[in-house]
Every structure is written in structure tokens, then in C-alpha cells.
Amino acid sequence: MVPVVFVHGIRLSGAAWSEQLELLGRLAKAVDLPGHGSRRGERFTLDGAVDAVAGAIEEPALVVGHSLGGYIAIAAAARHPESVAGLVVAGSTYLPGKTLETPFLLAHRLHMRLPDRGEGLGRRQFRAALPPKLAEAVIGGGIATEVIPDVAKALAGFDVLAELGTYPGLTWLINGSRDHFRRHERRFLDACADGRLINVPKAGHYLPMVRGKEFAQLVLDAARSLSISAVSSERSESC
């Protein structure tokens, strides 16, 4: 099976993928993007985030991104197609723009006005939304609310459909049926050179974390299909 590199969402860290890392074992790893997790305090930029993903790939890998991580995964695939064997993009099919940016910036301002800069509010949010063990892992990895303005700035000029359209590999677009980030999923699918769209019934934006085993199985299916395709190609070339 091809290796798997996981890319987390905004404010979170590689800890968001704890369950998938446990289920997939030694072939899987998760990165911390600039400004998040172990790299909290660093300035977030799109180029820096792409470098973080590319630096984690030792051989062609399936890159799996959720929310912000999905956009970064697309950028990494477009800029390093030789390193990205395939893409899984989850909860990241909403075109960047003011309608996406404004709610995040408003939330950031609210959090920054609180005495603890929103740390307690973030902890309560994730404890309410996620399974207990994963919620504590996410909280332990840090909730980097302060990074939101840098992320918004980085994505403002990011033409995600154009970059996705340059990637020649297979792309799985996976959304929860109740996820507001699926709004432009058909446009994303049309931009893929070789795309698949999967909607998971009764799931929301936190699908990879709330239904971790189910999502891990989808990732395994994607990784195995890439391995089968690679073997088929090798046989065809040897004939």
C-alpha cells in the first residue's frame, strides 16, 4: 500500500488524525502546518504549508487533507505532482472568498477579546463535537485560533480550481452530506483530471474525526486502489 500523509484543518494539528494513524499504522503520518501544533507561533503562509507537506513525503504518497488541509493538499499536489500519488480532499470543496473568510475572521475577533483568547471556548467546542479520546488529543495538540488571519490572507489569492486542474492524478472528494463546505463540490469535481465524489450520509464537517473508522476505511480504499493501479501499470509496461 502507498504511504499516507494527513494534513489537518485550521487551528488544529496532526493530533486531529490520531485515530487514523492508529488504524493505518506505520505507513501513515500527519504533519503540523506552520502556525499550528508543534509549529505554533510560526507565520502561516501557503508556500510554507506546501513545504511542510512536501517535506513529509519520502516516496510517492496518498495525501489526505481535511478542511484547510484539503486546500493545502491540493496546492501540494499541483506543485509536487511527482510526489503525490493520489489525493483525498475532505470538507474542502467551498471556493475561497469573502463568504468563507468573513465568518472565520469574525470568530477570531470574538475569541481574541476573551481573557484567555478563546482557549476555553475552543476546548468546549471540541469536547462537544468530537469523541472524548480524540477531543483530548486535539486539545493537547493546541488550538491555534490566532492563526486565522494569516490563513485567510494566504487563501485569498489561491485559485484552488486552477491548481486542482493541473494535478493529473486521481482525486477523491469526500464530503459529509450535511457539510456546508460541500457547496461547490461539482465545480471541484469538474476541475479534476480524474475525480471521484463521495458523499457520506448524515455526516457533517468533522466527518474524519467524528466517524474516524469509517473515514479511515475510505482512505484505505483509496490507497489500495492506487497500489492496484501502480501494479497494473508496471505489468503493462513490462509486456
Q: pLDDT by residue for the chain (239 residues), tens digit each?
A: 899 999 999 999 999 999 999 999 988 999 999 999 999 999 999 999 999 999 999 999 999 999 999 999 999 999 999 999 999 999 999 999 888 888 888 889 988 898 888 889 999 999 999 999 999 999 999 999 999 999 999 998 899 999 999 999 999 999 999 999 999 999 999 999 999 999 999 999 999 999 999 999 999 999 999 976 653 444 445 44
**Cell 488529543 -> residue:** 137
CB contact set of 51 (below 8 Å; sequence gap of 6+): none
- The model's pTM is 0.93
Residue with cell 477523491: 172
Please state, in angstroms and rounded to a whole number, the distance separating the CA atoms of residues 199 and 31.
25
Task: Give the closest residue to 188 by CA, choosing from 203, 204, 207, 175.
Answer: 175
- Helix, strand, coil fractions of the chain, as percent rounded to 5: 55, 15, 30
| Cα radius of gyration (the chain) | 17
